[in-house]
Chains A and B, each alone.
Chain A
């Protein structure tokens, strides 16, 4: 239900100053699309993100899972009119996705992050794909490929896809945003699977869901550098380990060869 409200004080000032008109996020009572945004301490970018999400689809809702923020992120989200779920403890964005998906009302789930502003025009293709029958619509961006050394996470994404027989997906993954899926897929694989994105991908593929890489948003280059430590980013080990768990899941469900034939090797010939 639309309600026009006069913008208060500073917001009016900002609205006059900014080039685009400020809008509020409109949460449709019967949304088709649920946009899920895990956020922790993202006050700098969240307004820009929300400005775009409200233009993705007329019947949508935006859910900000503001976990463990200390910089006023939840308040900003609320001011913008998003549905806000607040947890005291930080969850990490994968768990945040699960929380948001569980609360979602739309039948199409679009996942993005709060630290980068992606124009609505770049988000709509994912929603469009799912509305047209794709079950899981991935970002067709495969990660940074220049440079002599390949990043282990990029290698892991490519390799998992290949081992699942989907080399065509190249380095696409459910780790990266934006991506969208139908809520029925999330229900079928279990919302908790969303906490470990490679596991969710394996689960979706093994159940025969239609997984496609539909549109490319180069998030690698856009992603602000978070960790400047000398040591390897612990997130790398975590993501790579998740991919190994996914391989392990493939083995559990499809056998020690993941379902691939060994073309009749006579193994008994050797003791």
Chain B
């Protein structure tokens, strides 16, 4: 039973303690299968390291902000699980989130990456929904998250905010490309490489998670953010000769 093997959850974070705490708490409350949490701190100055140590989490404290892909790679290097999962610090997980996704992941030998549906994400994982409060959202998720293969959907690209993949895929595809630092399109790039190795990608439509969608960088530095998106899109196009948008 692969579902009972360990899942390593890697959470890069930077000065996001207020988001990180509920994220961790939700994992602890709603994960029914074996897991380990590895927080990769990108040089936070808001007490993140102290919280992680006090909460008994495995922590990789980097001296300065190395961006999302580099932080992911550090965490994945230390991860020992048979399954690996990248998680944004502004995601709150929901009942049966991981067991549902694992079922999709191991439904066939060539399924390599699985992602959930959520209230906010670029591409096909975002669903239209309304909710009043976080508690309300959690109740919706509780009702919704019943494992259902009919809701699994094969896609060509998944977002990195909640990104579950096999160790075998990690061994074959390798690390995230750090040229995309500080972030954006490294997930598209990884999905492209995974498909090149004949892996399939699924959205597990039976798994709804909450994404706060903090866009502090984007909102604080909108022009820089747009420039970053464009630069990274260019990197993808130069690498693969196609526009990442066509896979979204």
Q: How far is the CB of B166 from chain A (nearest CB, A)?
A: 13
B6 (CB) vs chain A CBs: closest residue: A268
A269 contacts the other chain (CB 8 A): yes
Which chain A positions have C-beta within 8 A of B80?
268-271
Tally of B interface residues using CB under 8 Å: 3
Q: How far is the CB of B127 from chain A (nearest CB, A)?
A: 35
Q: How far is the CB of A252 from chain B (nearest CB, A)?
A: 30
Which chain A positions have C-beta within 8 A of B167?
271
Which chain A positions have C-beta within 8 A of B6?
268
A270 (CB) vs chain B CBs: closest residue: B80
B 1-23 binary contact with A (CB < 8 Å = 1; else 0): 00000100000000000000000
A204 to B25, CA, bound (A): 58
B 162-187 binary contact with A (CB < 8 Å = 1; else 0): 00000100000000000000000000
A270 to B167, CA, bound (A): 13
Q: How far is the CB of B243 from chain A (nearest CB, A)?
A: 36
Q: How far is the CB of A41 from chain B (nearest CB, A)?
A: 64
B82 (CB) vs chain A CBs: closest residue: A271
B36 (CB) vs chain A CBs: closest residue: A269
A268 (CB) vs chain B CBs: closest residue: B80
Q: How far is the CB of A117 from chain B (nearest CB, A)?
A: 65
CB under 8 Å from chain A, chain B span 95-150: none
A 232-271 binary contact with B (CB < 8 Å = 1; else 0): 0000000000000000000000000000000000001111
Q: How far is the CB of A79 from chain B (nearest CB, A)?
A: 75
B77 (CB) vs chain A CBs: closest residue: A271
A270 to B78, CA, bound (A): 7
A269 to B80, CA, bound (A): 5
CB under 8 Å from chain A, chain B span 52-80: 80
> Max chain B CB contacts within 10 Å: which of A269, A270, A271?
A271
A270 to B6, CA, bound (A): 13
B80 (CB) vs chain A CBs: closest residue: A269
A269 to B167, CA, bound (A): 14
A268 to B6, CA, bound (A): 10
A269 to B78, CA, bound (A): 8
Which chain B positions have C-beta within 8 A of A269?
80
A258 to B167, CA, bound (A): 33
Q: How far is the CB of A174 from chain B (nearest CB, A)?
A: 45
B171 (CB) vs chain A CBs: closest residue: A271
Q: How far is the CB of A268 from chain B (nearest CB, A)?
A: 6
Which chain B positions have C-beta within 8 A of A270?
80
Q: How far is the CB of A254 from chain B (nearest CB, A)?
A: 28
Which 6 A-B residue pairings sit nearest by Cβ, starting from the closest? A269-B80, A271-B80, A268-B80, A270-B80, A271-B167, A268-B6
6 residue pairs from A and B, CB less than 8 Å apart = A268-B6, A268-B80, A269-B80, A270-B80, A271-B80, A271-B167
